[in-house]
Structure 1
C-alpha cells in the first residue's frame, strides 16, 4: 500500500472479500484484480505468480504441543481451529493425516486465517495458516508462534489474476506490476 500511495497519491483501492473461487466477479467487472490461489477453471483469465507459500501450524506461546517433538499423533490429538471462507471442516492437512490413520479434532471453523490465529493466541486450539501470515506482527501479534507441520501439504502458489479486457489498460498494468513487485519482494 505504501508503494502505491507514494507513486500514485490520488489512487484509491477497495479491498473486498470474495466468498468463493469463482471467476464471475473478474468476468463481470465486479472486481478488477484478485490475489490468491487459482480456483475454478477460467481459461481466459490472466495470471501472474507472485510468490510460493506453505502452510504452517500456529499455537499460543507456551502451548504444550510446542514442548517437544511435534509428531503427527501429538498434532492430531490437539483441538484445532480451521480457516475456511466456505466453511469447510477439512483440507489438505486432514488428507495427509488420514493417510497415517489419524484425524484432527476440529473444534471451530472461521472465515479467515487472521481469525484462526487470534483464536489460537487466546486458547489451546491449534491453527493452520500460510507462513506468509507470520511476516507481519500486526497480524500474528505477540503470543502465537508458528511451527512446521508434521505432515506434508501442497505448496501454495499465490498469484495475481485479472480478466484479459484489462491487459491493455495502462493503469491496471501499472497496478499489477507494482503489486507483483511489492508482494514478490516480501516473499
Structure 2
C-alpha cells in the first residue's frame, strides 16, 4: 500500500501517511485548489507578447488613505457617504477618465472594479463598480481592480479568464500577472480580452 500523494510505503490498514500526513483516501486531484476564475468566460487565443517594463506593487502592499477613503476596523478602505457635508472631493489630478471601446466614458477616483458584472468579495468596499457590455463574454465578471498611487492609476487583474494587457505610451505591451498591481500612466491603453479602455 502506497500514499497517493507522496508515494511513501504504508502498512496495511493505515488511515494516514506517516510521511506527509495525508489521508490514505486523498488523491492529487482532491488536493488541488479550486480555480478562482469565473467559469463562464469565453477563452480566446492571443499571440505571445513580450514582457517588459513591468512596474508593480504587491497587492498586499500599501494603499494611500485619503479623506474620501475612511478605513474601517479591518483596515479596508471604504467609500465616503455621497451626501455627507464634510466629504472632500479629490483634486482633478487624482481623477481619471476611462474611455471604453464600447463608446462609454467614465470618470473615476479612489478604487473600483471593472468587468461584465463586477462584484466585491465579502468584506471588500470600492468607490466604483464599472460594468462593460461584452456580448462575446471575453471579459470576466470581475476582470480587474483599480486604484490610485501618487497621482497615477494602477490596475490589478483579478484572475480573469483571458487576462489583461497594458500598453503604455512610451513602452511595449505588458501582460499583467494576476494579483499584482501595475501603474498605468495617462495615455495608456488597457486591454481586457476583446475590449479595452484608454486612461486620460
- TM-score (normalizing by structure 2): 0.25
Q: Which has the higher contact order (CA 8 A, sep 6+)?
A: 1
Q: Find the structure with the greater CA-based Rg.
A: 2
Greater helix fraction, Structure 1 or Structure 2: 1
